[in-house]
Amino acid sequence: MIRSMTAYAQVEGETPLGRVAVELRGVNHRYLELGLRLPDELRAQEGALRERATQRIARGKLDLTLRLRGAAQATPDLRLNEPYLKQLADLSMHMSARFPDLLVDFSELLRMPGVIETREPDQLALTQAVLALLDQALDGLLDARQREGARLAQTMLERLDAIAAQVAAVRALMPDIRTRQRARIDSLLAELRDASEPQRIEKELVAQLLRMDVDEELDRLDVHLAEARRVLALDEPVGRRLDFLLQEFNREANTLGSKSVDVRTSNASIELKVLIEQVREQVQNIE
């Protein structure tokens, strides 16, 4: 299944910390690059989020953003540190005996560190909740990648069919091209029959005719076409493999052009390069 690297997904849900929004944005990249933006309250979950994302995404630049939409409760869950408060009360009573004018203001007492405790959310439950939201977002992102990937795969298959048509057309032209070249060589040999070294000249001309032969390049193009179609049907990331394969396509197209002795094969070589480049542009978008 071909997957595009460009996609977007967003989900929201409740967690022990409050309502959290998860946003995923993917774009093209040669390798996997993951960027995270988290509120301070969720910094402890960064490692788990990063690990989960890299388990399911193989390639592309992925931006993962978490936003805290609202508190879990309308008022904070505050608790008095009763043992600590009792110690302060005992100390106050002891000191009041020595300092009768000593006054202890209640609000000042509450501002002392440790008197009021804020109940922290269960970190394990919080991690599980944000990972569940991330999984939902990843499901949406992968679905979008697959839909776009299916369109890219169809476009690439159409270009591969066009390449195959060019290869078949060149094969059909080769008998006529060889006949024309053989006639030219025979005509040249007839003109040079009185030359001092006719055998050497004939060998050179025959060697030139052999260098013109492109059957091997056409056969390799057929092999590359079959491999490209096979790779497009694999259920795994194939972007890099196709990228390397297209380099081989381009090499054969260049050789075909360099060996060309006919305007028709020269035009076919140019058309092949155009089609190969069009496939390459699509490959840059897939995982």
pTM of the model as a whole: 0.71
2 belongs to a structural domain: no
Confidence at residue 258, expressed as pLDDT on a 0 to 100 scale = 86
Rounded Cα distance between 102 and 126, Å, is: 46
Q: Which amino acid is at 87?
A: Q
Residues 84 and 127 in one domain: no
Q: What is the pLDDT of residue 182?
A: 76
The total number of structural domains that make up the chain: 3
Does 59 share its domain with 103?
A: no
Nearest to 10 by CA among 26, 33, 31: 26
Looking at residue 73, its pLDDT comes to: 45
Q: What mean pLDDT, rounded, does the chain reach?
A: 85
Q: How far is Cα 27 from Cα 10, in angstroms, rounded to an integer?
A: 15
Are residues 202 and 248 located together in one domain of the fold?
A: yes
The segments of the chain whose pLDDT lies below 50 read 72-75
Check which CATH number belongs to the domain holding 253 and give it: 1.20.140
Domain holding 36: CATH number?
3.30.230.10
Residues 167, 248 within the same domain: yes
Q: Judge if 159 and 274 occupy the same domain.
A: yes
Is there a domain that residue 196 lies in? Answer: yes
Based on the fold, state whether residues 129 and 152 are members of the same structural domain.
Answer: no
Task: Name residue 222's amino acid.
Answer: D
pLDDT (tens digit per residue) in 20-75: 999 999 999 888 999 999 999 899 999 999 999 999 998 999 999 999 986 544 44
Strand duo 7-15 + 32-37: pairing: unpaired
Identify the domain containing residue 87 by its residue range.
78-118
| 247 domain residue, yes or no | yes
201: in domain: yes
Rounded-to-5 percentages of helix, strand, coil across the chain: 65, 15, 20
